[in-house]
């Protein structure tokens, strides 16, 4: 199946917050950075960089004078190209574009046949295959699920190897140890050539901020490796509203902006010009159960507002996804997901991680939901294309030809355009009730289950130069042999 | 359960089309009215009114000189109040408001226990009860399902009687015969007093245009009755794109605008100042199966565009709803519904018919989906409230109190606001996997099924003055006795 080009929006963004509200938040974020500050934990190098840049250091606390962080952010590019091994699948991140990547991080998988279980490398490989075959998915992602059967200290090698060989779309690197980030860079050197990697961005990796206002050494260590090697990072507050941020939208946006300003500024201290993305992972806590909730109006408001703040800062923006808290790919999962996908499109998101496959608050990668969401991503493509009013779209000939009381099914305009006029799901049911009923009365999960099987059965590995394939396999084997297994 | 006030938007509309595109469409709509014209079928009175107003009549074709229809629309109010028998539930239709009403028209019902079957009066009464108990539903609607066990020529009496006695929210009148519209007006005279009805709008009824460009005598006859009695009508093109309108968004918008201009203008010829709503029911045809499709990007684009056209015309706007083509209240139903509900909110819809309960392209009213959708309507309320940046919302005290590495669960700001900070579903599952699993691993349909039973079991009839109740029952009995049953 051919992969669609990343989305180039031909529609406006939804500007939820007023100019005045945005100014209040920007002012408050500067106060947070200057008066409260942020912690860089176990990271003397970072403290030294900050001190030299003019920040006030007290223990691990970094207080950043008004305007300094924003000024440092100015060297970050407003858009960048992430190169794929198939150059037709390069993506341009930033501007009016939207790049879609799959779910990231779940330790469990779920499918209709086998239920919920720990994820394995086989699952991981299956999700990469499904991603490769998804028309509306531009990016292969990163930890599409945790291959829990592989030692923790070696997983990243198998994951990268799967992305590199089973897909020809762009992918993400490891962030769980600085050394694994370096392995990711080195392995990209094998795939793309070392010099090429230094001159091109070939990975976009996820650096979470330990909200509130804390930058831990593992994530910062990975960021340092990637920035030094000109590889892109999403610098992303991880917000469960009410727990890691205030219960109000404006308060949360203030914290998100302060955190991103500090994180992006730090990336530019490591290497001015390093490509970064303004991230915002947002959910809120259910005050009755303590569970995170998804597809809620407050999360949408924060996503809209953070998009406005990112544009004012001139940075690419990452947010939204196929978020939901359901245990099954059912109506709850779809309501919450659809709320969030629509929100993400109109909020001006440039890179949407988790755009398909997310279930149960991110604990689960769902096979069925992966293909259900991936199908819905087609809606975003068509919506973003906007509305033409060229002569053909005006259809005045059709209106004249048909006239009052007629129908348009056979008119010349319809005949000329019906094949491309309407977006059409490749999954959902459009059949008459009787046909649907005779065919077993399948619900969406069952239709998706059939589609998963069909896709995996017909998967074809993208071609790769045999020498490169061999070198990649050798790199993985050598790295794995060098250290004992660890599941810690 | 207390009913929420209708939504008063504190957020902007999403302006999808450019000024230039809107001007092209407005210009083309005038050309359609002037050069192609519209048909008023079997309606010599309408032709006479149009002739007197300055239109050119040829057979049943009415060609409307440029600018005339728009000029006639100017006497229609930009907003109006529909009075409920419980004045706390009056709704203001127009402006920045959004009034939510349930599904309209399905001949079938579906529930998890009984499957799909013809709707009866008992079903009708159940849906009115569910509507009365739905916190986020402001309006009792009209034909929430077709009570197919009641003669066609007497159904409207039972339906109105159910709305008037089982609910105290505002409702819709009958449009299936002009005489039934008159019965609706007369029955409102019994409920509200005849003089009151002449001075207040107590019904908002649905007048479909027989697209393309055709106004049939039944619907226009009902419109004439309502307009003459100062009762509101939604004047609504019924568009299945590709069949009743061109396959392009701009072409469809042109036709929608031309039809609404002609219909609203005609209402003002009947009675200048009669309250009306700019309607747009939009779906498109699946060119493979011929089925109507829902939740698609083209329908969303038309809904956004028609909202812009309605605002430029200064009329309240009706569109969107819980549209979907699924046979079950499953993920497909929810994706398509959620796409459309979000679209409707941001498109500036003022009156959303079908906002809950729609299934299978409108053939089916679903018990479970009714409560599922009705719950999601809460998301729209909170989203529409917008984002505060007052001192409390800025939460600077909380940010200072918690600082880097802390958490917000116990801070003073959270304690003060957590009860109202986040919208919370009354239906969806927020439990840990283990609890959810122990409780039976129910999907959304099953959760909704339990909720339907619980709501119907705890329903309480709103109080009514016994003399009024007796007079309404007598009106219905007398009307029914006056003519033989007809199922035609």
Averaged over A278-294, what is the pLDDT? 92
Element (DSSP H or E) covering residue B456:
helix B444-458
Q: Which of B284, B389, B432 sits opposite A250 (nearest CB)?
A: B389
- Residue B289 is predicted with a pLDDT of 85
Q: Which residues of A fall within a CB distance of 8 Å from B335?
A: 334, 337-338, 372, 376, 428
pLDDT-derived band at A488 (thresholds 50, 70, 90) equals confident
- For residues A448 and A111, give the distance between their C-alpha atoms in angstroms, rounded to a whole number: 10
Angstrom distances, CA of residue B205 to CA of A393, B231, B281: 33, 8, 14
Q: What is the pLDDT of residue A132?
A: 98
Residue of B nearest to A430 (CA): B291
Residue A110, pLDDT score:
98
Residue A456 pLDDT exceeds 80: yes
> Chain A window 148-167: which residues touch B at a Cβ cutoff of 8 Å?
none
pLDDT band (50, 70, 90) for residue B153: very high
SS (HEC) of A176-194: CCHHHHHHHHHHHHHHHCH
Nearest to A212 among B15, B284, B402 (CB): B402
Give residue-wise pLDDT tens across range B54-75: 999 999 999 999 999 999 999 9
3-state secondary structure of A282: strand
Q: At what angle do helices A249-270 and A297-313 cross, to 10 degrees?
A: 40
Rounded to an integer, what distance in angstroms lies between the CA atom of residue A415 and that of residue A212? 58
Rg (CA), chain A: 23
| A169-183, A407-421, B406-420: which is most confident | A169-183
Q: How many residues are listed for chain B in this entry?
A: 488
The pairing of beta strand B7-8 with beta strand A115-118:
unpaired
Distance set, CA A430 to CA A417, B247, B285 (Å): 20, 18, 10
Pick among A404, A410, A414, A439 to test the B interface (most B CBs inside 10 A)? A404
Give chain A positions within 8 Å (CB) of B386: 16, 301
Q: Which two tokens stand for residue B95?
A: 């402006």
pLDDT at A319: 98
The answer to whether A339 and A391 are in contact (CB under 8 A) is: no
Bridge partners for B8 per DSSP: B97
DSSP for residue B283 = E
Average pLDDT over residues A425-440: 96
For the cut 80, the answer to whether the pLDDT of residue A79 exceeds it is yes
Residues 437-466 of B with CB under 8 A from A: 437, 441, 443-445, 448
Average pLDDT for A386-415: 96
Q: Which of A278-287, B287-296, B453-462 has the highest mean pLDDT?
A: B453-462
Whether the Cβ atoms of residue B72 and residue B87 lie closer than 8 Å to each other: no
Is there a contact between B207 and B236 (Cβ–Cβ < 8 Å)?
yes
Instruction: Please spell the DSSP secondary structure of B46-106, one letter per residue.
Output: HHHHHHHHT-EEETTEEE--TTHHHHHHTTS-SEEEEP-SSGGG-EEEETTEEEE------
**Residue B487 pLDDT greater than 90, yes or no:** no
Q: Give percent above pLDDT 70 in chain B.
A: 100
φ/ψ of residue B197, rounded to 5: -60, -40
> Per-residue pLDDT tens for A51-69?
999 999 999 999 999 999 9
B47 inside 8 A of chain A by CB? no
Which structural domains are found in chain B, ordered by start? 7-13+76-385 (3.20.20.480), 19-72 (no CATH), 395-422 (no CATH)
Q: CA A373 to CA A135: how far, in whole Å?
A: 12
Average pLDDT, chain B: 97
Pairing verdict, β A232-241 and A204-209? parallel
B235 forms beta bridges with B207, B278
Nearest CA in chain B to A63: B404
Q: How confident is the model at residue A386 (pLDDT cuts 50, 70, 90)?
A: very high
Between residues 300 and 329 of chain B, which touch chain A (CB distance below 8 Å)? 300-301, 305, 325-329
Confidence of residue B136 (pLDDT cuts 50, 70, 90): very high
Q: How far is CA B408 from CA A29, A193, B392, in A?
A: 17, 47, 15
**For chains A and B, what is the number of CB pairs under 8 angstroms?**
400
User: For the segment B372-422, what is each residue's pLDDT rounded down to a tens digit?
Assistant: 999 999 999 999 999 999 999 999 999 999 999 999 999 999 999 998 999
Query: Which residues is B318 bridged to in the sheet?
Result: B279, B351
* Average predicted confidence (pLDDT) for chain A: 97
Give which of B483, B486, B479 is closest to B161, Cα–Cα. B479
Q: Which residue is closest to A373 within chain B, CA to CA?
A: B335
Residue A366 confidence (pLDDT): 98
Pairing of strands B232-241, B204-209: parallel
Q: What is the pLDDT of residue A471?
A: 98
Closest residue to A214, CB basis, from B297, B339, B404: B404
Closest C-alpha to A280, from A460, A298, B264:
A298
Q: Enter the pTM of the model.
A: 0.98
Asked if pLDDT for residue B181 goes beyond 90, the answer is: yes
Whole-number CA gyration radius for chain B: 23
Tell me if chain A has a CB within 8 Å of the CB of B57. no
Share of chain B above pLDDT 90, in %: 97
- Taking only residues 374 to 413 of chain A, the set having a beta carbon closer than 8 angstroms to any beta carbon of chain B reads 376, 379-380, 382-383, 385-389, 392-396, 398-400, 402-409, 413
User: What local confidence, expressed as pLDDT, does residue B225 receive?
Assistant: 98
In this predicted structure, the answer to whether residue A1 has a pLDDT above a threshold of 80 is no
pLDDT tens digit string along A14-47?
999 999 999 999 999 999 999 999 999 999 999 9
- Dump pLDDT digits (tens) for A313-326: 999 999 999 999 99
Condensed to tens digits (0 to 9), the pLDDT of residues A209-241 reads 999 999 999 999 999 999 999 999 999 999 999
Give residue-wise pLDDT tens across range B273-308: 999 999 999 999 998 888 999 999 999 999 999 999
Interface contact B382-A326, CB threshold 8 A: no
How far is Cα A141 from Cα A204, in angstroms, rounded to an integer?
9
Long-range contacts for B188-196 (Cβ within 8 Å, ≥24 apart)?
A: B188/B231, B190/B468, B190/B471, B190/B472, B190/B475, B191/B85, B191/B164, B191/B468, B191/B472, B192/B83, B192/B85
| Residue B318, H or E segment | strand B317-318
């Amino acid at each position: 199946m051919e992969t669609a080009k990343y989305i180039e929006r031909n529609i406006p963004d939804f500007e939820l917050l007023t100019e005045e509200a945005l100014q209040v938040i920007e002012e408050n974020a500067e106060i947070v950075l200057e008066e409260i500050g942020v912690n860089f934990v176990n990271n003397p190098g970072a403290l030294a960089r900050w001190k030299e840049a003019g920040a006030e250091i007290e223990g691990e606390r970094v207080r950043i004078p008004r305007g300094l962080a924003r000024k440092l952010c100015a060297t970050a590019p407003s858009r960048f190209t992430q190169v794929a091994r198939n150059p037709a699948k390069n993506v341009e991140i930033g501007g009016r574009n939207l790049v879609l990547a799959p779910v990231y991080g779940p330790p469990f998988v779920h499918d209709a046949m086998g239920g919920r279980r720990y994820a394995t490398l086989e699952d991981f490989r299956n999700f990469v295959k499904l991603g490769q075959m998804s028309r509306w998915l531009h990016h292969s992602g990163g930890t599409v699920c945790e291959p829990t059967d592989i030692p923790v200290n070696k997983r990243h090698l198998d994951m990268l190897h799967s992305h590199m060989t089973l897909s020809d779309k762009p992918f993400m690197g490891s962030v769980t140890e600085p050394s694994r980030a370096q392995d990711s860079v080195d392995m990209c050197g094998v795939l793309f050539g070392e010099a090429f990697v230094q001159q091109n961005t070939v990975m976009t990796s996820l650096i979470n901020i330990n909200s509130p206002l804390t930058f831990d050494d593992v994530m910062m260590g990975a960021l340092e490796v990637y920035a030094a090697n000109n590889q892109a990072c999403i610098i992303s507050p991880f917000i469960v509203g009410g727990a890691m941020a205030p219960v109000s939208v404006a308060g949360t946006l203030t914290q998100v902006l302060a955190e991103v300003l500090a994180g992006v500024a730090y990336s530019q201290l490591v290497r001015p010009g390093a490509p970064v993305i303004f991230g915002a992972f947002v959910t809120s806590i259910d005050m009755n159960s303590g569970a995170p909730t998804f597809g809620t109006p407050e999360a949408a408001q924060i996503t809209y507002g953070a998009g406005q703040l990112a544009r004012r800062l001139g940075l690419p923006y990452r947010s939204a996804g196929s978020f939901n808290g359901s245990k099954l790919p059912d109506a709850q999962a779809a309501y919450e997901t659809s709320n969030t996908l629509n929100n993400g499109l109109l909020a001006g998101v440039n890179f949407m991680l988790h755009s398909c496959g997310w279930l149960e608050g991110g604990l689960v990668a769902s096979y069925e939901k992966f293909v259900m969401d991936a199908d819905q991503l087609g809606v975003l493509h068509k919506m973003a294309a906007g509305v033409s009013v060229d002569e053909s779209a005006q259809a005045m000939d059709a209106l004249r030809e048909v006239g009052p009381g007629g129908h348009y099914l056979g008119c010349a305009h319809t005949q000329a355009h019906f094949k491309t006029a309407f977006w059409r799901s490749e999954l959902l049911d459009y059949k008459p009730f009787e046909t649907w009923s005779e065919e077993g009365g399948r619900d969406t999960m069952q239709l998706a289950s059939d589609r998963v099987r069909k896709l995996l059965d017909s998967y074809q590995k993208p071609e790769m130069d045999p020498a490169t394939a061999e070198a990649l396999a050798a790199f993985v084997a050598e790295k794995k042999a060098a250290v004992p297994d660890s599941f810690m």
